[in-house]
A = this chain, B = another copy of it.
């Protein structure tokens, strides 16, 4: 009946995610985890090096699920035969917004998480997951008949992602009323509309300048 080491890690991560969701990073305490998991404090440190690693693992799980939600949204569009680029992008953005709304406490923790103490080598599993998400958005853009080479399309995908991300998090910093959700969605609609129109009219790469000052 005793849980496997792997199973116990899963249990700890599930508890950690719940704690993060309730009270943010400050609520992730070793003793609380131990108590809720029915093990001792030391055992937590046998499974993970420190709380940072627990936090990192939870974040990876969340990013993984976000990717899955994006892919699922893509599949839905495919099945429904939706080809309009604007609709597809909006659907992707909606998936993102829904995901963030479903994790009100832990998502800010994901974003605020500081991985400056990570190992030296550049791209880690974190970046790999983010690249995967970028790839999904780039795939949607490819369906549009914009005149973009791969590099520019990738840049556009990253820009679109970052912008939606900024809208969602900015909205979430403020007091989250029910009106806040409406405001977020209005901004997303405006952004996507303007983005598609802008790309159609070639407004993206007309001016190549360097950053002022």
Contacts and interface: CB of A to CB of B under 8 A. Distances in A.
Interface of A: 24, 86, 90-91, 94, 97-98, 108, 111-112, 114, 122, 127, 155-156, 158-159, 161-167, 169-171, 173-175, 183, 185-187, 189-191, 193-207, 209, 211-213
A98 B211 CA distance: 10
A125 to B, nearest CB: 14
Copies per complex? 2
A23 to B, nearest CB: 9
A101 to B, nearest CB: 11
Contacts of A197: 197-198, 201-204
B173 A111 contact: yes
A162 B190 CA distance: 12
Contact of A211 (B185, B191, B194): B185
Contact of A190 (B98, B196, B205): B205
A194 B186 contact: no
A201 B196 CA distance: 11
A166 B14 CA distance: 29
A161 B170 contact: yes
B155 A190 contact: yes
Most buried by B among A164, A166, A194: A194
Given A194-B203, A198-B198, A211 B94 contact: yes
Given A189-B207, A190-B204, A197-B197, A98 B159 contact: no
A157 B162 CA distance: 17
Nearest to A182: B211
Given A193-B205, A197-B202, 10 more contacts: A91-B212, A94-B212, A163-B167, A169-B169, A189-B209, A193-B204, A193-B207, A197-B197, A197-B204, A200-B201
A199 B194 contact: yes
Given A203-B193, A207-B193, A186 B155 contact: yes
Nearest to A201: B197
Contacts of A205: 190, 193
